[in-house]
């Protein structure tokens, strides 16, 4: 890139200093659920608040939802609510005391109510129906490995391959095994009703195995609730293309995924999921151990900083903090550390300003005609570069137009103007998007006036700049993106 081209691109990327294109999701727990901490998290950069139903009671969820809404309103930031369903997580049942499993020793897995002596109780009654001799069983996030020797329902006899200390409640993973458990438990069904009651913008489905699992959840929620599929099973990786089509968003859940797959495969699988989601304009989240050391320490390790930076460079829409903000000692410092890394990467000269190196084609390859919305997004990108436009404006009723444009990863901010606060909050998860609400009748003129004022207020554009505007016409029809227009500020 020449010095002249670099200067043009830097001028195109005038930016509100607080605005990060990559979004931040914070898991809310005992370390962060008091109103004062929630408000600081909102001010510091939280875009989405995650409530993990594995560890949060219904009355807590109701109270937290109100507090998060109040804090977001106080800070003037749209913050989305993400309800993360517990799903069919298989765990070790109640043990009288931790068990020490030595390599070469024999162990019996059995349903919790049938366990005796040194049996290992499990919470999944049909475990023996799904396992066969030779299958691997991983315990404690993959730290302990067993190999099945014999199945005598309901008992599974196994040999310890990699030993360790096992305590109650630890996770059980069955890599390569087609688990037949239902995708939604009775608890999940109750939690879905709770998510609808509090008006959550996103519901995350855990342990997705197929697109059918996603569609089952989709049938139970309204069209304006977005379904996020967590990719944490080997089966889900195999079914990735179909899951991406069925879901509204996806998460690279590296905790269980790292137990299901050999650890050396996880980085490339992460890149594959991110690129697949980008190509289909589905927001994608990278999660698990982003800043794990900050549960106990006030600064991240250098390796963690690099991990966050590479997630940004991979093209993720958002990064997620789990224990760091839920139970860690430094929840606010964790968010500040995350913003520092993201801002450094996003402002790096020549790395992102010229267009992201994410392998998201501005013009998709192939001889087949692309969908209209992709063609419009590609044309928008070309117009931005040709006009040296400092920003893109999208008029969107459902958020679809903004998500499509974002998926091409333009080098300038996307200002999305919508007619509902709910869509404004949903767009808090989408890369590069700032969303504002048009409370008047949503005509092109009214929405452009709001966009014009917001661009100038944030310092994203100045009078005389040419702005690329894209929308679906007619505006009241959801899911259409078919127009590009140039406006002068």
DSSP state letters, 248-293: SEEEEEHHHHHHHS-GGGHHHHHHHHHHHHHHTT--EEEESSSSGG
Query: Do residue 62 and residue 104 come from a single domain?
Result: no
Would you say residue 272 has pLDDT above 80?
A: yes
pLDDT-derived band at 256 (thresholds 50, 70, 90) equals: confident
What is the domain-level CATH number for residue 221?
3.20.20.60
Query: Do residue 245 and residue 341 come from a single domain?
Result: yes
pLDDT-derived band at 377 (thresholds 50, 70, 90) equals: confident
Does residue 354 lie within any of the structural domains? no
Would you say residue 15 has pLDDT above 70?
A: no
Query: Do residue 191 and residue 333 come from a single domain?
Result: yes
CB 82 within 8 A of CB 201: yes
Residues annotated as catalytic (active site), given as ranges? 50, 91, 230, 288
Which pLDDT does position 376 carry in this prediction? 85
Which pLDDT does position 348 carry in this prediction? 72
Does residue 124 lie within any of the structural domains? yes
Q: What is the mean pLDDT of residues 203-226?
A: 95
Query: Do residue 327 and residue 423 come from a single domain?
Result: no
Would you say residue 49 has pLDDT above 80?
A: yes
C-alpha 100/C-alpha 200 separation (Å) is 42
pLDDT-derived band at 88 (thresholds 50, 70, 90) equals: confident
Does residue 469 lie within any of the structural domains? yes
Which pLDDT does position 479 carry in this prediction? 61
Instruction: Print the domain residue range for 43.
Output: 19-88+182-346
Does residue 483 lie within any of the structural domains? yes
Query: Do residue 341 and residue 392 come from a single domain?
Result: no
C-alpha 396/C-alpha 424 separation (Å) is 10
What is the domain-level CATH number for residue 396?
3.40.1380.20
**Percentage of the residues of the chain whose pLDDT score is greater than 90:** 68
Query: Do residue 447 and residue 406 come from a single domain?
Result: yes
Query: Do residue 426 and residue 340 come from a single domain?
Result: no
Query: Do residue 68 and residue 190 come from a single domain?
Result: yes
Which pLDDT does position 5 carry in this prediction? 37
Query: Do residue 268 and residue 235 come from a single domain?
Result: yes
User: What is the enclosing helix (H) or strand (E) of 467?
Assistant: strand 466-471
**Percentage of the residues of the chain whose pLDDT score is greater than 70:** 91
Q: In what order do the strands lie in the sheet with 414-418?
A: 433-437, 414-418, 392-395, 466-471, 483-488
Query: Do residue 226 and residue 337 come from a single domain?
Result: yes
CB 143 within 8 A of CB 171: no
| Token reading at 444 | 């092109």
CA 169 to chain centre: 25
Tens digits of residue pLDDT in 394-409: 999 899 989 999 998 8
Would you say residue 474 has pLDDT above 80?
A: no
Which pLDDT does position 247 carry in this prediction? 97
To the nearest whole number, what is the mean pLDDT of the chain? 89
Number of domains comprising the chain: 3
| Token reading at 391 | 């920003």
Q: How far is CA 398 from CA 158, 402, 406, 427, in A?
A: 51, 9, 14, 9
């Amino acid at each position: 890139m020449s010095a002249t081209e670099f200067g043009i691109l830097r001028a195109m990327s005038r930016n509100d200093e607080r605005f990060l294109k990559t979004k931040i999701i914070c898991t809310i727990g005992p370390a962060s659920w008091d109103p004062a901490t929630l408000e600081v998290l909102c001010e510091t950069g939280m875009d989405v608040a995650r409530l993990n139903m594995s560890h949060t009671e219904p009355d807590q969820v109701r109270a937290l939802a109100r507090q998060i809404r109040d804090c977001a309103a106080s800070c003037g930031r749209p913050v989305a609510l993400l309800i993360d369903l517990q799903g069919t997580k298989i765990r070790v049942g109640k043990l009288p005391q931790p068990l020490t499993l030595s390599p070469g020793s024999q162990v019996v897995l059995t349903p919790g109510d049938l366990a005796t002596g040194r049996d290992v109780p499990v919470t999944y009654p049909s475990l023996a129906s799904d396992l066969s001799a030779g299958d691997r069983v991983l315990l404690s996030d993959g730290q302990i490995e067993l190999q099945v020797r014999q199945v005598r329902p309901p008992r599974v006899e196994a040999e310890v391959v990699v030993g360790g200390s096992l305590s109650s409640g630890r996770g059980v993973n069955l890599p390569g095994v087609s688990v037949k458990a239902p995708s939604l438990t009775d608890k999940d069904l109750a939690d879905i009703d709770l998510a609808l009651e509090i008006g959550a913008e996103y519901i995350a489905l855990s342990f997705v195995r197929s697109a059918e699992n996603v569609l089952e959840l989709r049938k139970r929620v309204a069209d304006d609730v977005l379904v996020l599929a967590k990719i944490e099973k080997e089966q889900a990786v195999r079914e990735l293309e179909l899951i991406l089509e069925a879901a509204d968003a996806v998460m690279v859940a590296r905790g269980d995924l790292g137990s299901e797959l050999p650890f050396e495969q996880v980085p490339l699988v992460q890149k594959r999921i991110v690129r697949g989601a980008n190509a289909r304009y589905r927001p994608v989240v990278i999660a698990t151990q982003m800043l794990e050391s900050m549960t106990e320490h006030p600064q991240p390790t250098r390796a963690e900083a690099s991990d966050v930076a590479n997630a940004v460079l991979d093209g993720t829409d958002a990064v997620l903090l789990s224990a760091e903000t839920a139970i860690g000692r430094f929840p606010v410092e964790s968010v500040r550390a995350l913003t520092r890394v993201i801002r450094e990467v996003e402002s790096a000269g020549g790395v992102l300003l010229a267009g992201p190196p994410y392998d998201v084609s501005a013009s998709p390859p192939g001889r087949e005609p692309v969908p209209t919305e992709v063609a419009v997004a590609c044309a928008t990108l070309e117009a931005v570069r040709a006009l040296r436009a400092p920003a893109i404006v999208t008029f969107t009723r459902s958020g679809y137009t903004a998500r499509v444009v974002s998926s091409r990863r333009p080098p300038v901010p996307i200002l999305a103007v919508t007619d509902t606060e709910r869509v404004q909050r949903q767009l808090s998860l989408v890369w590069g998007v700032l969303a504002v609400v048009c409370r008047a009748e949503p005509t092109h003129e009214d929405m452009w006036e709001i966009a014009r004022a917001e661009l100038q207020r944030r310092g994203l554009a100045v009078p005389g700049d040419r702005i690329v505007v894209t929308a679906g016409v007619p505006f009241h029809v959801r899911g259409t993106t078919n127009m590009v227009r140039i406006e002068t500020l």
